[in-house]
Structure 1
Amino acid sequence: MLEFLGHFHPVIVHLPIGVLLVAIFLQWLSGKEKYRGVKPAIAPILLSGSIASIVACVTGYFLSISDDYDQSSVNWHMWMAIGVVLVSLVLYTKEVNPKVEVSKKFLSIGLVVLITVTGHFGGTLTHGSDYLSKPFFKMFSGDSVVNTAIKPVANVQEALVYDDVIKPILETKCYSCHNENKQKGKLRMDDIALLLKGGKHGKIIDVNNVDSSEMLQRLLLPTDNEKHMPPKEKPQPTESQVALLHWWISNNADFKKKVKDIQQPDKIKPVLLALQKPVIIKKQALNLPATAVEKGDEKIIQQLTKKGFVVLPVAQNTNYLMVTLTDAKKVIKKDIDLLGKLSNQIVSLKISNSTFENEAIGSLSKLSNLRKLNLANTNLTDKELPALNSLQHLQNLNLTGTKVSAQAILQLQKLKELKTMYLYQTSISKSDSLKLKTAFAKTEIDFGNYFVPLLPSDTTLVKQVPAK
C-alpha cells in the first residue's frame, strides 16, 4: 500500500510548485495599486499550496522507502521539501496576520530558492546528477556527435571490448535507471564491481550459461512485458547491440581485453566492423492499409504466443500486427496456417535463423496484407520463392543468408510495391547483382560486402620483399 501511494508522488509533486509560485507572483503583483484587488486570493492559494506540499512530502517519503535511490540525494531532496512546507506555512501566517515579525519579501525569495533547490535534487534522482549541466556543456562542445549516441570506433580490433564496445551500450540503454543516484531493483550498472554483483534478484550475468543471464533475458522479453528492460517508453537496444552483449558474456564478460584478443564468430564480425563507421539507418515507414481492420482473434494470438511467436501492434491505436519468431528448430505448415487466420491484421513478419518444414514457406502466400517480410538465415530456396509473388503489397523483403539464386529473385518482378530488398550473404555473383539492380530499378537492393576504408590511425604491417 505504501508503494502504491508513493507512486503518486510524480503526479502530486508539481501541484504545490505551481500553486506556491502563483501565490508569490500574486503577492508581488498586489504591491501595485492597479492590482490590489488580487490580495484576498493570496492567503487561500498559499494555504492550498502548503497542504499540497505536505501531501507531496508524504508520498515522496513512501516512494523513497519503496524504491532504490541514492540515500544522500534523497535526504537532501526530503529536507529541502520540508523547508518548502515550513516556509510556505510561515508565509501564509504572515499573509493572514501582518503583525508577525518577519519579512514577507525575505520569505518569498527564500521559498522560491527552496522550490528550485528541491526540484533540482528531485531531477537528480530521476534523470541523473548532470541532467542540467549536460545540455549546457553540449552547446559549447565541438563534438558533432550527440552525447547519448554511440560514437564510432576508429579501429575496432584495437578497441577495448568493455570500454569501447559494451559500456557505450549500457550507458545509453541502462544507466538512466541503474546509476549512482538511482538503482532500480537494487542494481547499479555504472560500476564494474556492482554490475557483476547484480541486484536484488541476484547476478544478471552468467558466463557459464549465457542464455540464462538475466540481462539478456530481460532484453529479449516482449516490450509489453512488465519485466522487459529497458522500459518500453525508453530507447531500445538494436539487434546488433543485443548480439554484442551476448558475444561479450559468452567470452567470460571480460573487462580488460581488446577485441582482437577475443574469439569472433562469423556472425559477429560484420557487427563489429559496423562500429568503425556511424551507420545512418533510413527507416522506411510501412504504408499501412488506409482502411481500419478489426481486432485479431485473441485465441489465435495466444496460440501463436505459446509456440514462441511474439505478436505486437505495429503502432498505438491500430489493430495491425507485427509477428516475430527467431531461432526456431522447425516451423511447420500448421504454424503458418495459424498465422493465416490473422492475414488481415499481420503486416510485418519476421521468421529468422529458423528451419521451415516442407511446404510451410509456400503457405506464406495466405498473408496477403504483408508489407514487410524477413526470412533471413532460413532454408528458403528457389523452389519456394515464387510463392511470395502473391504478396502484392510487400514493400520490404529480407533474404539474407538464404540459398536463393538471382534467377529465382527475377521472378519477383511482379511485386510492384517492393521498395527494399536485402540479399547479402547469398551466393549471388557480382554480374548477377547488376542484372538484379537493372530488373528492380525502383527497388533499393542491399548486397552487403561493405568496404571499410583504411584510416590514417590504422597500423599497417609492411614486409620487406627479399632481394632476388
Structure 2
Amino acid sequence: MTELIGRFHPLLVHLPIGILLIAALFQLLAFKPKYAALHAATSIALFWGMISAILSCISGYFLSLSGDYDDELIDRHTWFAIATASISLIAYLFNRWENEFAKWVILLMVPLIFVTGHLGGSLTHGSDYLTKGFSKDSVIEKAIKPIADVQEANAYADIIRPIFESKCYGCHNKSKKKGKLRLDEPEFILKGGKDGKVINPGNADESDLMKRLLLPRNEEHHMPPKEKPQLKDNEIELIHWWIATGATFDKKAKELEQPEKIKPILLSLQKEVKKIPPDVPQAIVEKADDKALQKLKQRGIVVLPVAQNSNYLTVNFVTVDSVTEKDIALLLPIKKQLVWLNLSGKKISDTLLASIAQLTSITRLQLDNTMITDRGLASLRLLINLQYLNIVGTKVTTNGIMQLKGLPKLQAIYIYKTFITASEWSTLKSNFPNVTLDTGGYYVPILETDTTVVKPPEKKN
C-alpha cells in the first residue's frame, strides 16, 4: 500500500508548485486597488496549494522508503518540503485572518518552493541538471568518443562506462538508485541491487543485467525503461563481451579474449585522431612581421595561416600576373614562417629558383606548369625541409630529379607530364625508395550506379 501511495508523488508534486506560485502572484497584484478582488482568489489558491503540498509530502515520504535515492539528498528535500507545506498552511491561515504578516509569510514561501523543487530535480535528474545544458558535452544521447587505438583502451573506462553513462546513469547513480542499484562506480556494479548481483563475471548469459537488457521493450523489467533511450545492438554486444571476459575494470581490450563477432564492433569505435599536417613544423615560431605581411598584401599576394592559431604561413601568387625577383625578395622577411609556397602556372624561370632556395623552411612547393628546367631544380637542394614538390607540366627530366636525392625529408614528387620517359621510371624508383613518385594519368572506371548520358549514333551522310 505504501509503495502505491509513493507512486502518486510525481503526479502530485507539481500541483503545489504551480498553485502556490499563483497565490503569491495574486497576493502581489492585490496590493493595487484595481486588483483588490484577487484577495479572495489568493485565499482559495493558498488553500488548495496547502492541501496539495501536504499530500505531496505524504506521498514523497512513502516513495523515499524504496531506498532508490541518495539518503543525504532525500533528507534535505524532505525537510524543505515539510517547511514549504508548513509555511503554506501558515500563509493560508494568516490570509484568512487578514493578519498583517500574511504577505511576508507568502514572500518567504516562494524561495522555499524553488529550493524544494531544485532538490527534487536533483534527485531525479542529478545534481548538475541545471548546468549541464550549458556544457559542451551536453547531448540527449552521448556517444562513445572515438578511440585512437581501441586495443590499447581500457575495456571498462573507455568502452563500457560511456555506455552506462549514456543509457543507465539516469536511473542508477549516486542520487537516484532505482532498485537500490548504482552503475556509476565499479564497487557498486559488483555489489548489485535489492535483488542481488546484476552481473556474473565470466557468465554473461546468466547475468541479470543482460537478461533485463534483452527483454522485450514493453516488459516491465526491461532495461532501460521503454520511454528512455535504448541501447544499440552493438552496445549490448560490448557489454555481453565485457561480462563474458570477466567484467574486469583494469584490463585493456587487447588483454581480453575477442571472438570474431566482437572484433568489427571494437574496430568501429576506433577513429584516427586528427593530427597536425605532417608538412607543418611542430616547433613554435614567432608571429611574422606585420609590415612584411602588409607589403605582400599590397602586391596582391595571398598570405594565410596554414591552420587556426598557427603562425606558420602559406603563400599563393594566384592573383599576381608575373612573379619577379622583387616579389621573391618580399618573402625573405617571413622565411621562418613560410612553409607552403604556391607558384602554380606562373611564368617563372630557373633564375628565380635560386632566390626561392633561400626560403629554407618551405615544406610544400608547387611549381607545376612553370618554365623551370633541370638547371633551376638544382637550386632546390638547399630546401632541406622540403617534403612535397609539384613539377607537373614542366620540362624537368630524370637528371633534374636525381639532383634532389639528398633531400632528407622528401616524401612526394608529382611528375606528371614532364620530360621523364617510361624507361627511366625504374631508375627513379630505385633511387627514391621512400618517396612517392606520382605520375598522374589516373583512370576512373565507370560504375553501374553512375549517371551516364547515352547519345544516339551519328547518322552518316
Structure 2 counterpart of 1:189: 183
Structure 1 residue 168, shift from structure 2 partner: 0.3
Q: Whole-Å Cα distance in 1 between the matches of residues 138 and 119 of structure 2?
A: 30
2:204 aligned residue (205, 210, 216): 210
Q: Whole-Å Cα distance in 1 between the matches of residues 50 and 16 of structure 2?
A: 7
Residue 254 (1) aligns with residue 264 (2): no
In structure 2, relative to structure 1, the CA distance for the partners of 1:25 and 1:121 (3 Å cut) is: same
1:8-56, CA deviations, whole angstroms, 9 ceiling, x for partnerless residues? 1111111111111111000000111221121121112111110111111
Q: Whole-Å Cα distance in 2 between the matches of residues 240 and 178 of structure 1?
A: 21
In structure 2, relative to structure 1, the CA distance for the partners of 1:227 and 1:440 (3 Å cut) is: farther
Structure 2 counterpart of 1:48: 48
Residue correspondence of structure 1 range 311-460 to structure 2 within 5 A: 438=448
In structure 2, relative to structure 1, the CA distance for the partners of 1:145 and 1:129 (3 Å cut) is: closer
Which runs of 5 or more residues in structure 1 are unaligned?
279-433, 442-468
Structure 1 residue 440, shift from structure 2 partner: 10
Q: Is the CA contact (8 Å cut-off) linking 1:161 and 1:255 kept in structure 2?
A: yes
Q: Whole-Å Cα distance in 2 between the matches of residues 176 and 254 of structure 1?
A: 23
1:357-413, CA deviations, whole angstroms, 9 ceiling, x for partnerless residues? xxxxxxxxxxxxxxxxxxxxxxxxxxxxxxxxxxxxxxxxxxxxxxxxxxxxxxxxx
Amino acid across the alignment from 1:86? S
Q: Is the CA contact (8 Å cut-off) linking 2:169 and 2:183 kept in structure 1?
A: yes
In structure 2, relative to structure 1, the CA distance for the partners of 1:263 and 1:438 (3 Å cut) is: same
Structure 1 counterpart of 2:125: 127
Amino acid across the alignment from 2:114? T
| SS in structure 1 of the partner of residue 57 of structure 2 | helix
Structure 2 counterpart of 1:37: 37
Residue correspondence of structure 1 range 51-90 to structure 2 within 5 A: 51-90=51-90
In structure 2, relative to structure 1, the CA distance for the partners of 1:146 and 1:69 (3 Å cut) is: closer
Structure 2 counterpart of 1:115: 113
Q: Is the CA contact (8 Å cut-off) linking 2:23 and 2:46 kept in structure 1?
A: yes
In structure 2, relative to structure 1, the CA distance for the partners of 1:105 and 1:265 (3 Å cut) is: same
Structure 1 residue 190, shift from structure 2 partner: 0.8
**Higher Cα radius of gyration:** 2
Identity level (%): 50
Residue correspondence of structure 1 range 285-304 to structure 2 within 5 A: none
Q: Whole-Å Cα distance in 2 between the matches of residues 99 and 212 of structure 1?
A: 66
Residue 158 (1) aligns with residue 168 (2): no
| SS in structure 1 of the partner of residue 448 of structure 2 | helix
Q: Whole-Å Cα distance in 2 between the matches of residues 112 and 145 of structure 1?
A: 32
Amino acid across the alignment from 1:124? S
Structure 1 residue 147, shift from structure 2 partner: 7.5
The TM-score, its normalising length taken from structure 1, stands at: 0.57
Q: Is the CA contact (8 Å cut-off) linking 1:2 and 1:66 kept in structure 2?
A: no
1:273-299, CA deviations, whole angstroms, 9 ceiling, x for partnerless residues? 111249xxxxxxxxxxxxxxxxxxxxx
Structure 1 residue 66, shift from structure 2 partner: 3.0
Q: Whole-Å Cα distance in 2 between the matches of residues 145 and 74 of structure 1?
A: 27
| SS in structure 2 of the partner of residue 438 of structure 1 | coil
Q: Whole-Å Cα distance in 1 between the matches of residues 449 and 145 of structure 2?
A: 38
Q: Whole-Å Cα distance in 2 between the matches of residues 32 and 41 of structure 1?
A: 15
1:44-97, CA deviations, whole angstroms, 9 ceiling, x for partnerless residues? 211111011111111111111135211111111111111111111111122122
In structure 2, relative to structure 1, the CA distance for the partners of 1:208 and 1:257 (3 Å cut) is: closer
In structure 2, relative to structure 1, the CA distance for the partners of 1:233 and 1:440 (3 Å cut) is: farther
Structure 2 counterpart of 1:167: 161
Q: Whole-Å Cα distance in 2 between the matches of residues 6 and 201 of structure 1?
A: 20
In structure 2, relative to structure 1, the CA distance for the partners of 1:144 and 1:21 (3 Å cut) is: closer
Amino acid across the alignment from 2:243? I
Q: Whole-Å Cα distance in 2 between the matches of residues 8 and 147 of structure 1?
A: 28
Q: Is the CA contact (8 Å cut-off) linking 2:157 and 2:249 kept in structure 1?
A: yes
Structure 1 counterpart of 2:174: 180
Residue 237 (1) aligns with residue 231 (2): yes
Amino acid across the alignment from 2:225? P
Q: Is the CA contact (8 Å cut-off) linking 1:84 and 1:115 kept in structure 2?
A: yes
Q: Is the CA contact (8 Å cut-off) linking 2:144 and 2:159 kept in structure 1?
A: no
1:254-287, CA deviations, whole angstroms, 9 ceiling, x for partnerless residues? 1111112222222111111111249xxxxxxxxx
| SS in structure 2 of the partner of residue 131 of structure 1 | coil
Amino acid across the alignment from 1:60? G
Structure 1 counterpart of 2:217: 223
Amino acid across the alignment from 2:178? K
1:411-430, CA deviations, whole angstroms, 9 ceiling, x for partnerless residues? xxxxxxxxxxxxxxxxxxxx
In structure 2, relative to structure 1, the CA distance for the partners of 1:187 and 1:145 (3 Å cut) is: closer
Residue 26 (1) aligns with residue 51 (2): no
How many equivalent pairs are there?
280
| SS in structure 1 of the partner of residue 36 of structure 2 | helix
1:106-155, CA deviations, whole angstroms, 9 ceiling, x for partnerless residues? 3223211110011011111111111112113x1xx4x6977733221122
Residue correspondence of structure 1 range 255-274 to structure 2 within 5 A: 255-274=249-268
In structure 2, relative to structure 1, the CA distance for the partners of 1:98 and 1:144 (3 Å cut) is: closer
Q: Is the CA contact (8 Å cut-off) linking 1:80 and 1:117 kept in structure 2?
A: yes
Structure 1 residue 7, shift from structure 2 partner: 0.5
Q: Is the CA contact (8 Å cut-off) linking 2:27 and 2:103 kept in structure 1?
A: no
Amino acid across the alignment from 1:169? I
| SS in structure 2 of the partner of residue 264 of structure 1 | coil
Q: Is the CA contact (8 Å cut-off) linking 2:141 and 2:229 kept in structure 1?
A: no
Q: Is the CA contact (8 Å cut-off) linking 1:204 and 1:214 kept in structure 2?
A: yes
Q: Is the CA contact (8 Å cut-off) linking 1:81 and 1:118 kept in structure 2?
A: yes
Structure 1 residue 235, shift from structure 2 partner: 0.7
Amino acid across the alignment from 2:245? N
